Amino acid sequence: MGKKFQAMRGTRDVLPGEIEAWQAVEEAARRQSSRFGFREIRTPLFEATELFARGVGDSTDIVRKEMYTFPDRKGRSLTLRPEGTAGVARALIEAGLARPHELHRLYYMGPMFRYDRPQAGRYRQFHQWGAEIVGTKSPWADVETILLLVGLLVDLGLEGLVVKVNSVGDETCRPAYQEKIRQALLPRRDELCEDCRERLDRNPLRVLDCKVPSDREIVKDLPPMLDSLCDPCREHFDAVKQGLDAAGVRYEIDPGLVRGLDYYTRTAYEVHHGKLGAQSAVGGGGRYDGLIQLLGGPAVPAVGFSMGIERTLIALEEEGRKPAPERDTIYLARGAGLGGQAVRLAQKLRSTYAVALDLEERGLGPQLKQADRIGARVALILGEDEAKAGEVTLKDLGSGEQRRVREAELESAIEQALRGPVART
């Protein structure tokens, strides 16, 4: 026997039976994005390595440890995208769309890549839905992105969500705070983990994001960034809180929330689901007013977030919810020798419905089991008697009721059946 190939560690196949839940989340994300006036953007899976080193930040774990970087045939350094925002910013700059006071509402969806220790909800190839508002400093844009993210999670049926918010300041007030953190931690430098000792030199704010329990104990008594905000940053944060209050979104202020990327300024936020355990963040984001200029574009402010699709699906499973696409599949079962008539009928109905056609001349029982397996709402049975009479038997797979219907009246009968309750569990 030849070599048995397996999916690489940290990757996985999503097979029929599971993919339907993915499709439901993706469809819901597209609907939610459209409701808020966002349009889709698609960027390449790989970019120049420097884009992420400069944009994400060379002091982050992502750049230092987690990127999939490789030379192409001409020796250029390329990286599989570890996150989506830098690529969106690059695309807007390249297309000449990153202009001051020109507003863009954009969303993206697709795979990202980070070399990390695989664990529940965390893969080396993972998938995100993300959204960006580019072209405004308004705190209401921050609020809008939080409402977009929370709105989808609530629509999907998640309960017990916790929204955490913080401000990480800007280029005016953050440097002084970083120095305050550095000076406070220097006497205990040797007690910090190796990564945090390096962070202390490169970007002290990163120490606040450390997950090592002993380090978290050390930093818990540090003065919060909120006490060091300049007046414009404080006013911005107050406006964000006011917007969340007006929208009825409950939130917690988390002084230790700094997110894992260097490009954030002012607002940072995360949405947590308690049943996910230690890795409870489903999504998060914040404002990044300096990123586009850092990447060679004009000074254009922006705010956005990303949501992990795998983690969202795990949270839904923990809630006992299994989302399904809003799709009413019809299964067309047929008798022996009726392939041509079945194909003609299926093609006629496919202008309106999703129709799965039996391809083998099996008995009616196996065909109806297949209809149930794919989640069909209605089965159409075309047997010899029905074919001779110009009729079709319509079976409601939820209620089990069935009746003969003339082909000319079939679409109206299907509509009536689809409007009825779904009884299948």
Q: Is residue 290 part of a domain?
A: yes
Q: Are residues 49 and 135 in the same domain?
A: yes
pLDDT of residue 425: 38
- Give SS3 for 363: coil
Q: Are residues 293 and 379 in the same domain?
A: no
Has residue 268 got a pLDDT over 50? yes
- Evaluate whether 99 touches 298 at the Cβ level (below 8 Å): yes
Integer distance in angstroms from the first to the last C-alpha of the chain? 42
Residues pairing with 48 in the sheet: 78
pLDDT in tens, 283-303: 999 999 999 999 999 999 999
Q: Are residues 274 and 333 in the same domain?
A: no
Full residue range of the structural domain in which residue 396 is found: 329-419
Q: Are residues 341 and 400 in the same domain?
A: yes
pLDDT of residue 232: 96
Q: Which of 318, 348, 373 represents a domain boundary (last residue)?
A: 318
CATH code of the domain containing 103 = 3.30.930.10
pLDDT in tens, 238-247: 999 999 999 9
Which residues, 6+ apart, have CB-to-CB distance to 289 below 8 Å?
137, 170, 265, 266, 299, 301, 302
CATH code of the domain containing 392 = 3.40.50.800
Q: Is residue 203 part of a domain?
A: no
DSSP conformational letter for 279: S
Measured distance CA(217)–CA(174) in Å, rounded: 23
Q: Are residues 160 and 294 in the same domain?
A: yes
pLDDT in tens, 305-363: 999 999 999 999 988 888 776 666 899 999 888 889 999 999 998 888 889 988 887 88
pLDDT in tens, 246-264: 999 999 999 888 765 667 8
Query: Within a 10 A sphere around the Cβ of 364, how many other Cβ atoms?
Result: 16
Measured distance CA(367)–CA(333) in Å, rounded: 6
Number of domains in the chain: 2
Taking the model in full, what pTM does it have?
Answer: 0.85
Rg (CA), the chain: 27
Q: Which of 250, 284, 318 represents a domain boundary (last residue)?
A: 318
Q: Are residues 36 and 127 in the same domain?
A: yes
Has residue 276 got a pLDDT over 80? no
pLDDT in tens, 180-234: 888 888 888 888 888 888 888 777 877 877 778 888 888 888 888 898 999 999 9
Question: % helix / strand / coil in the chain, to the nearest 5?
Answer: 40, 20, 35
Q: Which of 264, 295, 318 represents a domain boundary (last residue)?
A: 318
What percent of the chain is predicted at pLDDT more than 70? Answer: 95
Q: Is residue 7 part of a domain?
A: no
pLDDT of residue 218: 84
Average pLDDT on 64-91 reads 95
Has residue 51 got a pLDDT over 90? yes
Q: Are residues 96 and 238 in the same domain?
A: yes
